[in-house]
Amino acid sequence: MQAGKYRSLRLGAYLLLIAGSLLFSFPFIWMVMTSAKVDSELFTEKFELLPGTPNHKPRSPFIDHHEYRYAVTDLTRPHLALIGKVVRDAKYPIPPGIDEKEVIAELTRGFARKLEQVLPPSVWEAGPAAIEREARKQATFENLRAIFDRVYRILMIGQLRIRSNQFQEQELGAGVPFSQRFVNKTPEVLRLVDGKDRATPCAYASYDFSKGDHWRLEQTFTTSFDVHELQRLRLYARPDDNWHRLYCHVEKLGALYEAVRPTAFANYDWAAIGQWQEPGPEDDTNKIKFWTHLKEIDRGPQYESDPHKLKVIFETRRSNALQAWWSKINNNFYRTLAFMDVWRYTATSLYLVILNITLTMLSCSLVAYSITRLRWPGRDFCFILMLATMMIPAQVTLIPGFLIWKTLGFYNTLVPLWLGAAFAAPFYVFLLRQYLKGVPKDLEDAAYIDGCSYFRIYWHIMLPLMKPTLAVIAIWTFMGAWNNFMGPLIYIADQRLYPLAFGLFAFSTMTSSNPALTMAGSFIMTMPIIIIFFFAQRYFIEGITLTGMKA
């Protein structure tokens, strides 16, 4: 009986621990899940923890069933057949190449959501006749078109523009119909048709990967400036959110260049989906780097060499389900690493972390040793005075500290972020003092007899014994220095000196606080702390318990 009760208690304790772990890890899980979402998934009507399944359909155009998956509610569900009849009677023109039944189904769902938003409760309570009458008034071409545009996915190719180092802009192929600006090398897979997206002229790209695993467009353009001056190549398009991969190749001056990574057809809004340029001085600036590098992979007479001609090759390869998921997961991480100067910020943070940990452990261990093991006049008073400083709020010393560092000439340098660690932290000194009080006095006496000085006793005996507690101090100091935001905000004005925490804030500001990119950057910043704690948890637990010497 007792054994069964004991097992039940243990099981309950384990379940409680698991539930607590899941609860406290939820913010981290949410951060990871958000970093894998695209822009269209960030502001949805219903909260979703997991990112949506990426499309990887073999054909385009197609109907996306994700947009109105929560459109039908308890209010509209009983009237769904009636709403579908109204939509069918409206006879919205359906483009060729897509299933009419799919279009009607999605239009019905989207129109149901529209009616729920615009019709007052009195109409819903009046019965089917009133609902149908009001629904037909709302079933205008403009309303149905707005719904259709949210579910209709087709790749629209717009302008291809280049810019020189002297900021000269040129639209390649200007004056030529969009469908004829490129030579279609795979007509069995891809078909281009001129069209407009509202007022924006473009080429509709319809493709079928069941007839081939890629499609290819290429063209040689005449440039208005010398190709030596080419800075950037930019393609405007409205993707079909199908996650197939676009590869860019450029021939110029007798060399073939390739983009270092492909661009996925993510989202479905007009944007510069691809910006490519060679490495250059702009890479060393603090601006957000929206471009992808072009690297030279071959050179020879077979490539375009005219100084006023540029050959551009776009190739799209089909993505399977695994590749689509991989592209979606790493999309925001690639963008974050490309847009933000992560490596410079990380190097600065590591520099500050190493200095802070080293100086903190040395200064705190020295002070703790002198207060605990040495006898000198005023020792206890100094210790109490040091502990009393812990009661002073950090906000009180903020302005005086800033004035001191500025007077010393250290404003806009990294010195204020690490030199203060050389003067010991009261709490860490107290922690080490409590540990050293448990060390037997016989060790020191034996060292004295052997002729050791105070410093040698500290260095060869006390310091090795303090390793568990020093490990705890190192972890806490690492976390404090790695996550330090207020210090750089006060003392640093030059963005080249930003550590990672403050660099992430600047990056978030420059990207208009895009949640997906911010969460991806936060994940990159958080991982070192998790990894270090995972490997150092034994020392952390051992040191925090202050068990004293081992037998």
For the chain, the structural domain boundaries read 62-151, 154-329, 343-544
Question: Which pLDDT does position 172 carry in this prediction?
Answer: 96
226 secondary structure, DSSP code? -
73's tokens: 């509610």
CB of 302 within 8 A of CB of 251? Answer: no
How far is the CA of 95 from the CAs of 35, 98, 130, 140, 312, in angstroms? 35, 7, 32, 18, 30
Please report which helix (H) or strand (E) contains residue 53, including its range. none
Q: What is the dihedral of CA 294, 299, 301, 305, to 10 degrees?
A: 30
Judge whether 154-329 and 343-544 match in fold. no
CB of 216 within 8 A of CB of 186? Answer: yes
Question: Which pLDDT does position 544 carry in this prediction?
Answer: 56
Question: Of 40, 94, 99, 93, which is closest to residue 66 (Cα–Cα)?
Answer: 40
What CATH number does the domain located at 343-544 have?
1.10.3720.10
What CATH number does the domain located at 154-329 have?
2.60.120
Q: Which amino acid is it at 34?
A: T
How many CA atoms does the CB half-sphere of 10 hold within 13 Å? 6
Question: Which pLDDT does position 5 carry in this prediction?
Answer: 72
Q: Which residues of the chain register pLDDT less than 70?
A: 1-4, 536-551
Backbone phi, then psi, for 437, in 5-degree steps? -65, -20
- The residues, any chain, with a CB within 8 Å of residue 77's CB and separated by 6 or more, are none
153 secondary structure, DSSP code? E
270's tokens: 């007009």
CB of 333 within 8 A of CB of 438? Answer: no
pTM: 0.82
What span, in angstroms and rounded, lies between the C-alpha atoms of 173 and 60? 25
CB of 202 within 8 A of CB of 195? Answer: yes
Strand partners, 277: 293
Question: Which pLDDT does position 405 carry in this prediction?
Answer: 94
Question: Which pLDDT does position 2 carry in this prediction?
Answer: 65
CB of 336 within 8 A of CB of 507? Answer: yes
Question: Which pLDDT does position 550 carry in this prediction?
Answer: 42
